[in-house]
């Protein structure tokens, strides 16, 4: 792959040669596929007894990431990961990704190539594959959009709307790491402790596909979503969809040691990072109290992930409330927002 720019191939804009090259390299037919890349649409045989899932998410330069934060391969990996997380949130298995790349004319072929390679490699980790896409020139910033198809066995679909009063609220992993990582990326010169860990937690979220499958198969989970916008905003969404209230125990939020130290240095409460930080892509789910221990043990054993109980679902009339470690009630924090550059 040379350093020729996309616009310098032949004529004003030869998108075909790039698409064709990407397709030759990354096309891979899988089970059920009737066509590989290269026809007008991907065609595949749906799996019997399963529901189809489709999600899409886009990352825009200077809004969702900055070019100095990471190279094109890491960007592709991240674009795949945030979409994989949405399929996980439904209890599903990812199958086929469709990549739309909008690239400035000055981009090199190698740059586009690395993004596609990042997407393809991250999909492959979860037995999914790149099955189609479109590459377009843009007079603006880099944009990576991915549509991701997956399936879930009919009865295992997990939605946001099944939480019932008395259910416990759990989250996988740590909360607030990604928000901490973003601050590290914004001030790379500072000698943060746990700098590399936090940066990695932002740049390379781990889609909880395996944990989500364990939860979906258990049959005990009443509602689930993935934490893209922070616990405060996402739990509000789950509560609204389920028609319930909820109480979160601030003292129980799983916060990593590096995130705690960073919060201290920045003089912000670590709980704020966890509640409002966003982009952790952990799972938020609810289940009856009597199943919690077993679910936690299943997740530890079969998905090697810790799940922490952080609160309880209440009747709708109780609304949403946050209780701090010392027992005081705090107003519900506002949801997270993208902090564009």
Considering the complex, state which of residue 192 and residue 234 has its C-beta at the smaller distance from a second copy: 234
Instruction: Check residue 100 for interaction with a second copy (CB under 8 A).
Output: yes
| Least distance from a second copy to the Cβ atom of residue 214, Å | 17
For 33, which DSSP code? Answer: B
Considering the complex, state which of residue 43 and residue 257 has its C-beta at the smaller distance from a second copy: 43
* Span near a second copy by CB under 8 A; candidates 125-133, 167-175, 195-203, 252-260: 125-133
* Span near a second copy by CB under 8 A; candidates 31-39, 107-115, 257-265, 325-333: 31-39
* Binder of a second copy out of 133, 258, 277, 311 (CB under 8 A): 133
* Span near a second copy by CB under 8 A; candidates 100-108, 121-129, 170-178, 246-254: 100-108
H-helix or E-strand spanning residue 87: helix 72-89
Distances (CA, A) of 277 to 93, 140, 266: 27, 28, 14
Considering the complex, state which of residue 327 and residue 340 has its C-beta at the smaller distance from a second copy: 340
Q: How many residues bind a second copy (CB under 8 A)?
A: 76
In three-state secondary structure terms, 38 is coil
Name the nearest CA neighbour of 133 among 120, 150, 151. Answer: 120
Name the nearest CA neighbour of 312 among 250, 246, 253. Answer: 246
Site string for a second copy, 53-82 (x = CB under 8 A): xxxxxxxxxxxx------------------
Going by their DSSP bridges, the two strands 50-60 and 143-153 should be labelled as: antiparallel
CA–CA distance, 261 with 252 (Å, rounded to integer): 17
Residue 341 structure tokens = 């550059």
| Least distance from a second copy to the Cβ atom of residue 266, Å | 19
* Binder of a second copy out of 70, 74, 90, 178 (CB under 8 A): 90
| Least distance from a second copy to the Cβ atom of residue 293, Å | 26
Contact 25, 109 (CB under 8 A): no
* Binder of a second copy out of 11, 31, 327, 331 (CB under 8 A): 11
Instruction: Check residue 8 for interaction with a second copy (CB under 8 A).
Output: no
Q: Please report, to the nearest 10 degrees, the dihedral formed by the alpha carbons of residues 13, 83, 204, 264 taken in order.
A: 120
Q: Which of residues 141-200 bind a second copy (CB under 8 A)?
A: 141, 143, 145, 147-150, 152, 154, 157, 159-161
* Span near a second copy by CB under 8 A; candidates 38-46, 162-170, 185-193, 248-256: 38-46
| Partners of 168 in the β-ladder | 287, 312
* Span near a second copy by CB under 8 A; candidates 202-210, 222-230, 242-250, 319-327: 222-230
CB-based contacts of 231: which residues, under 8 Å, 6+ apart? 171, 175, 248, 253, 274, 275, 284, 310
């Amino acid at each position: 792959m040379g350093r020729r720019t996309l616009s310098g191939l032949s004529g004003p804009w030869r998108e075909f040669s790039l698409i064709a090259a990407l397709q030759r390299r990354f096309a891979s037919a899988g089970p059920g596929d009737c066509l590989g890349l290269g026809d007008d649409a991907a065609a595949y045989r749906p799996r019997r007894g399963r529901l189809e899932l489709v999600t899409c998410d886009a990352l825009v330069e200077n809004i969702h990431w900055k070019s100095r934060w990471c190279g094109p391969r890491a960007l592709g990996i991240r674009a795949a990961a945030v979409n994989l997380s949405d399929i996980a949130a439904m209890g599903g298995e990812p199958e086929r990704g469709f990549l739309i790349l909008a690239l400035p004319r000055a981009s090199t072929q190698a740059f586009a190539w690395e993004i596609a390679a990042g997407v393809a490699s991250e999909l492959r980790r979860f037995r999914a594959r790149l099955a189609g896409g479109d590459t377009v020139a843009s007079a603006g910033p880099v944009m990576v959009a991915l549509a991701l198809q997956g399936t879930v066995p009919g009865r295992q679909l997990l939605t946001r709307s099944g939480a019932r009063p008395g259910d416990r609220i759990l989250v996988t992993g740590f909360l607030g790491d990604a928000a901490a990582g973003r601050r590290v990326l914004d001030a790379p010169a500072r000698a943060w402790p746990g700098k590399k860990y936090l940066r990695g937690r932002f740049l390379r979220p781990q889609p909880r596909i395996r944990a989500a499958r364990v939860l979906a198969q258990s049959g005990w989970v009443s509602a689930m979503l993935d934490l893209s916008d922070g616990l405060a905003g996402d739990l509000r969404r789950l509560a609204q969809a389920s028609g319930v209230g909820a109480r979160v125990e601030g003292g129980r939020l799983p916060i990593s040691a590096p995130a705690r130290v960073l919060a201290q240095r920045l003089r912000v409460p670590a709980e704020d990072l966890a509640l409002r930080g966003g982009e952790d892509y952990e799972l938020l789910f609810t289940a009856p109290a009597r199943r919690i221990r077993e679910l936690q043990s299943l997740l530890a054993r079969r998905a090697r992930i810790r799940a922490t109980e952080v609160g309880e679902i209440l009747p709708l009339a109780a609304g949403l409330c946050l209780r701090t470690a010392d027992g005081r009630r705090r107003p519900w924090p506002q949801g997270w927002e993208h902090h564009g550059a």
